A and B are shown apart, each in its own frame.
Chain A
């Protein structure tokens, strides 16, 4: 199977190079036959990449330990689900998974039925095939998943036990799919610049691709946060690790893009800016892959350091960044727009500010991530940049972004007057003040929390008010009952109302982050059986410790009875696993989760005397983050869901050259 995989990769490389050249030459010289042939080449690339991936999966599930990759990441005792997850658990496998996804996305892109941007497809296909070829080169010559060992080990080393978690089964594929998804909008942007078709066609063609990539990356990040929370055992969900940062940066930039393309569609503005955002998002997505593989920055997520791989990624980022920015500079005259506005106080202004802050936040994360290298280069002194830095720098920026989401919802396009603002914002402001009074009464006293919750409440109130006004308007215009009017409102403009639902999700997540960051409490205690530790209103009594063996690990399990104000709530069993094939012990935290707060218990250590150490944490509102994640997916899907196709009209923009 390894030979089939290797040969498939080699053929896929040839097909990708052929398609890239065929698309470009065919489109440039006007040879439709060559373009069609290149299109079939993409199908071949997709088929061959699928065969290569299937070969590796077959080797994994049949325990072909002669393959170095299979021996390094799998073992006989691994369940089928986690065997499958080893496809993306290692460096070479994840690169193959990337190339496979890219080939599928490229095939969908070139065969997609579209009303606009058809002329851009060959050039966009050329770009995606060049990217695919780069990955095939890596897979063939630098990091092959089909590398053989000179002997056949009886069993593999096994999967890192930390990765044996449902969160880790979903986190990498969603994250990688998000990264890969950015290639398609980037391809269209380059195509638009090459062909000088710089109007709206390319943004219409890429909007749903960008939205899909953004949604997938967002889901990937959420799965990663959930996995970190339940599996890593430190009580948090986001550590601002360089690799986490690498996945956040393109997400922020694409969030800005999804807003700024509305400006281009409505007002013909920000054409250059939109190009810059797509170029940045693509470069940052590759940067994430570079960070995990180069070893240039210390991270808990890194694969084995491969300097050559890191260098090649850096070269690829450099070429794509400089090439696309050079092309943008060359076409900048064609991208200038005669923007005009009626007032500084308008929704347009809030969109501009929102873009500035989103990109500013991405820049702050980028600077913090690379500052250790910058400091060492400039001063010769190593520094660490951890959560305190990122929290302090980003918290005010994120709060400002959230505030703008509220202002933007109720401020009109083009122009808003004082009366208009007063009329729209009065009830949301009253709601905010009422909620603030309520929060104060229930004991929220920290000024930072009060401001942050006020901002969240304001955005929530503006969204609900906007929905209420829209529903009432439809009810009065069409005579529908309120329920029908509401669904009609949502269904009639899914991108807009899907966007509002995503804003709602952001509010839920922000409330969760604020609550868990500012009102968490913890205690560490060493207890003998029968002894108790108190944290706020909870009392935890240590019952017993047990040790037992399973096929793959030794388990140390403890049991604690949890009481709240004297009532027994149940048992919690924090554990420690010692896997036979893995050096490090793994903490299995015990979590009692409610909508209000999580009680999070970690088994820290134990002694022969029976003394056992625990760390107990109360994390308020963490459930709201996961709830927000579900709402985020619903909103994203609503915005992504395709509109009903309509017959092309003579006035259609498709094919229009700008």
Chain B
């Protein structure tokens, strides 16, 4: 039984590994992509291609300029850099991944990893402490019959034990 299950999983995995996947779409030279990297300068604080103010003149002029530069064959990086030189770093829709800005990009992950380390050591400590199996412990190799009993126990115990 286990052999056939392993075979089934292996076949499905093989099919997927052979499949030619592609990276996330990112046509760096499209006007839309570059607009998505910039903030509209009409004061709306929206990303350029999201600004919907009818009176916004920034969106049209900025988008036309991007289109013109794309047509002239300028690279996306050069076009974005042009706008940074014009309006400053705040024209970018996200802080560039360098220098002090890296704190914004990396700190959440660093904090999660640090928290993960704390949890890991706490778990080790608690597991070391938990040498005995208290009443109601779930069996290690739970069978369907045991599962049925556990579900029934937990459900009937719910009324007396409050929420879980």
**Measuring CB to CB, which residues of chain A are less than 8 angstroms from any residue of chain B?**
200, 204, 207, 232-236, 239, 241, 262, 265-266, 269, 298-300, 338-344, 349, 352-353, 356-357, 359-361, 363-364, 367-368, 371-372, 375, 378-379, 381-389, 392-393, 397, 412-417, 419-420, 422-423, 426, 429-430, 433-434, 436-437, 440, 445-450, 469-470, 472-474, 476-477, 489, 492-493, 495-496, 518, 522, 576, 583-587, 602, 605, 643-644, 646
Contacts and interface: CB of A to CB of B under 8 A. Distances in A.
A328 B124 CA distance: 25
B25 interface: yes
Interface string B18-45: 0111111100000010001101000011
Given A379-B100, A387-B47, A341 B127 contact: yes
B76 interface: no
Given A368-B104, A419-B140, 14 more contacts: A234-B46, A234-B52, A300-B44, A339-B126, A343-B127, A384-B95, A387-B47, A387-B93, A388-B47, A414-B133, A415-B140, A447-B24, A469-B147, A576-B54
Nearest to B18: A440
B73 interface: no
B100 A389 contact: no
A393 B92 contact: no
B85 interface: no
B152 A474 contact: yes
Q: Is the interface of A mostly helix, strand, loop or mixed?
A: helix
Interface-centre pick from B15, B16, B163 (highest chain A CB count, 10 A): B163
Nearest to A396: B109
Interface string B117-142: 00100111011011101000110111
Contacts of A372: 90
Contacts of B163: 204, 207, 262, 265, 495
Contacts of A368: 104
7 contacts: A341-B127, A375-B101, A387-B47, A397-B108, A416-B140, A420-B140, A449-B24
Contacts of A423: 142
A265 B164 contact: yes
Contacts of A587: 52, 54
A532 B25 CA distance: 26
Contacts of B90: 372, 381-384
A646 B137 contact: no
B115 A342 contact: no
Contacts of B127: 340-344
A440 B19 contact: yes
Contacts of B147: 469, 473
A493 B104 contact: no
A469 B145 CA distance: 11
Given A412-B142, A433-B13, A434-B12, A584 B22 contact: no
B94 A386 contact: yes
A393 B95 contact: no
A646 B159 contact: yes
A208 B95 CA distance: 40
B88 A412 contact: no
B3 interface: no
A265 B141 CA distance: 25
Given A298-B45, A445-B20, A473-B147, A340 B51 contact: no
B111 interface: yes
Nearest to B108: A364
Contacts of B155: 489, 492-493
A383 B101 contact: yes
A262 B164 contact: yes
Interface-centre pick from B9, B126, B155 (highest chain A CB count, 10 A): B126
A643 B159 CA distance: 8
Interface-centre pick from A233, A414, A419 (highest chain B CB count, 10 A): A414
A299 B45 contact: yes
Contacts of B77: none
Contacts of A300: 44-46
Contacts of A338: 129
List 10 tightest A-B contacts by C-beta distance, closest first. Answer: A585-B54, A340-B130, A433-B12, A364-B108, A389-B94, A473-B148, A386-B93, A360-B112, A234-B50, A412-B138
B21 A446 contact: yes
A619 B123 CA distance: 44
A146 to B, nearest CB: 32
Nearest to B60: A605
Contacts of B88: 381-382
Contacts of B131: 340
Given A384-B94, A495-B163, A518-B24, A415 B138 contact: yes
Interface-centre pick from B55, B88, B130 (highest chain A CB count, 10 A): B130
Contacts of A386: 39, 47, 93-94
A445 B108 contact: no
A470 B154 CA distance: 11
B162 A204 contact: yes
